[in-house]
Structure 1
Amino acid sequence: MNDDLVGHNAPGDTSRRVFISGAIAAGFALAVRPVAATTIDTDDGGLAAGSVQIPVEGGAMLPAYRAAPERTKGPLPTVIVVQEIFGVHEHIQAVCRRLAKSGYLAIAPELYFRQGDPRNYPEVDQLMKLVMSVPDAQVLSDLDATVAWAARNGGDARHTAITGFCWGGRIVWLYAARNPSLKAAVAWYGRLGGTASANTPKQPLDVAAEVRVPVLGLYGGQDKGISAESIAQMRTALKAAKAQTEIIVYPDAGHGFNADYRPSYNEAAARDGWQKMLSWFKQHGV
């Protein structure tokens, strides 16, 4: 077993392993409780699932959650899963397990780990201050490290995709413009425009023409934070991209329609979006 793995079989500093494993296993973030009864429970039967550590720039170790089918031969097609603003909590871990049950190595890195643990913030306003302190440059560099780690630990570098939700959906667009070696990307209700800042100098609309990866965008027609106008602008901007792209809008769905643990969950849109994501991956060789 690779020494990047965290758990009873992994060597290394015990206190750090316990800290990271505890954070990853902490369930749902405080800011999203109580959890709705619609939550889909995906177990880890038949999977190798749990916490890992990924070496990143500056000598730090990036905590992540990974899930993959057990007892498989050869490298696996890989999906990098980018968290919502709430971090790699139970819902994002379940997304990884669902992908693993479809035959993928799925890995979700904790992309705020240098700034703080989003599970410890009971109020969304407090959490947003944490989120806004995380530089895009740091996030994109950590995703590079995650892709490289996956290739060293059972993943197939030639067949790697990325997906992300909400905050992570925005990051998916940015990373698709950064890493042309990806086979495919799926962005779930990620913000497309916004005001530039030191930490977020560019938005998806700014980099649309640079996209070289097939990207599928999944959006809700009732989303109060992502306007129909911005989606139309993105479609226009993507015409200059040298890649196949598509944006699907579910008219009756709002923001976070795949988040089965929240009132925003829209079962019809979520199920259709999930199947379209898997089809997009297969279509583009992941």
Structure 2
Amino acid sequence: MLTLTRAHGTEPEDLHIGRRAAVTMFFAGYAVAALAADATPIHTPDDGLIVEAALIPNGAPKPLPAYVARPKGTGRHATIIVVNEIFGIHDYIKDICRRLAKLGYVAVAPDFFYRSGVNLPAISDFKQIMPIVAQASDDQVDGDVKATSAWIKKQSFARPDRIGITGFCWGGAVVWRAAMVDPDIRAGVAWYGHVEKLIMRAGEVHSPVLGLYGGQDQGISQDSLAAMTKALTMTGKTGSSIHVYPDAGHGFHADYRSSYNEADAKDGWARMLAHFKANGVV
């Protein structure tokens, strides 16, 4: 089982100096707007891994940047697309990628907000962050997800038929939509992503999704989760389900935030891995 160590921030050796693209393309540190003063975030070293930046063709004037972590050596691996929260690609998302890579996955975290040209993790005011996030339309983001899976299928280190997706908060909703619109996605795990606008589209879910939610989440109602569960059942999507942790709030997996719930985060992580394994993303 993967053993994770803890640290208060990223150390210089986390990303090798020789990999300058990966160092300079993404924010070094945790999202300023949400970092708890007393946080002790999980730190996963990159020994045994290749950590690099990629530029993914997506039809835009500038290609989609992505943070990639994968096991060293030859061979093809199942791949997980990792979708960030509203803060973009910062140390928490990068660490998620390294955790998955330590388990034998290729992990790819696209920077869905790159078109704004703004370094989102460095912004401390939520009121400045939200308008930037709103510029990334559903259609645009869904297109970027499909471009990412298409790129993955062409890589010599990836199994083209074993692509999964997981995402947190804003990224959780992206996961639900990806399971509807991207035929290359084999399974998804959505961490506390809004479902209100997606309930009527439950019948479009073609890949099984596991939703992980907090019973104390003040932004996502239990009624909406119940309605989504009913809609999935009514449309025969028996492979998809929603699990609610009664004592957890929003962001319970985010170990750099005050909302972190260690027990539920660990259980959710185990459920995520089991869901991917059960659906052939392994």
With normalisation by structure 2, the TM-score equals 0.88
Provide the residue aligned with 1:231 in structure 2. Answer: 225
Matching of residue 150 in structure 1 with residue 152 in structure 2: yes
What is residue 265 of structure 2 aligned with on the other side?
270
1:189-248 C-alpha deviation (Å, 9 max, x unpaired) = 00111xxxxxxxxx2213211101011000000000011100000001112144511110
- Counterpart in 1 of 2:186? 183
Shift in CA distance, 33/62, structure 1 to aligned 2, threshold 3 Å = same
The question of whether the paired residues in 1 share the 8 Å contact of 2:32 and 2:123 is answered with: yes
How many angstroms apart in 1 are the aligned matches of 2:37 and 2:238?
39
Identity of matched residues, % = 47
CA offsets 1:65-85 (integer angstroms, 9 cap, x no match): 010000132x21010000011
Which residues in structure 2 correspond to 1:20-99 (within 5 Å)?
Answer: 21-34=23-36, 36-73=38-75, 75-99=76-100
Q: Does 1:172 align with 2:175?
A: yes
Match of residue 3 from structure 2: none
The Cα of 1:113 is off from its aligned counterpart by: 0.6
CA offsets, 1:134-193, max 9 Å, x none?
A: 111111111111111112222112011000000000110011111233211000000111
Distance change in 2, residues 1:34/1:217 (3 Å) = closer
Structure 1 residues 237 and 39 mapped into 2: Cα distance closer, same or farther (>3 Å)?
same
Normalising to structure 1: TM-score of the pair? 0.87
1: distance between equivalents of 2:276 and 2:242?
15
Classify the secondary structure of the residue corresponding to 1:163: strand
Q: How far off is 1:282 after superposition?
A: 0.5
Of 247, 250, 260, 1:252 maps to 247
**What runs of 5+ residues in structure 2 fail to find an aligned partner?**
1-15
CA contact (8 A) 1:163 1:169 kept: yes
Query: Structure 2: which amino acid aligns with 1:162?
Result: I
Residue 109 in structure 1 maps to residue 142 in structure 2: no
SS in 1 for 2:60: helix
- Residues 208 and 241 of structure 1 are in contact (CA less than 8 Å); yes or no, is this contact kept in structure 2? no
Change (3 A) 1:155 1:23: same
1:117 is displaced (CA, Å) by: 2.7
2:215 to 195, 207, 221: 221
Determine if contact 1:37/1:261 at 8 Å carries over to the other structure.
yes
- Residue 37 of structure 1 deviates from its aligned partner by 2.9
The CA distance in 1 between the partners of 2:238 and 2:208, in whole Å, is 5
Tell me the SS of whatever aligns to 1:66: strand
1 CA distance for matches of 2:38 and 2:202? Answer: 36
2:142 and 2:112 map into 1 onto residues whose CA distance is: 9
Partner in structure 2 of residue 200 of structure 1: none
| Contact 1:184-1:214 at 8 Å conserved across structures | yes
CA distance in 1: counterparts of 2:17 and 2:95, whole angstroms: 22
Report the aligned-residue RMSD. 1.9
The match for 1:4 is none
1:247-270 Cα offsets, whole Å, 9 max, x none, are 100001000000000010000100
Structure 1, unpaired ranges of 5+: 1-6, 11-16, 194-202
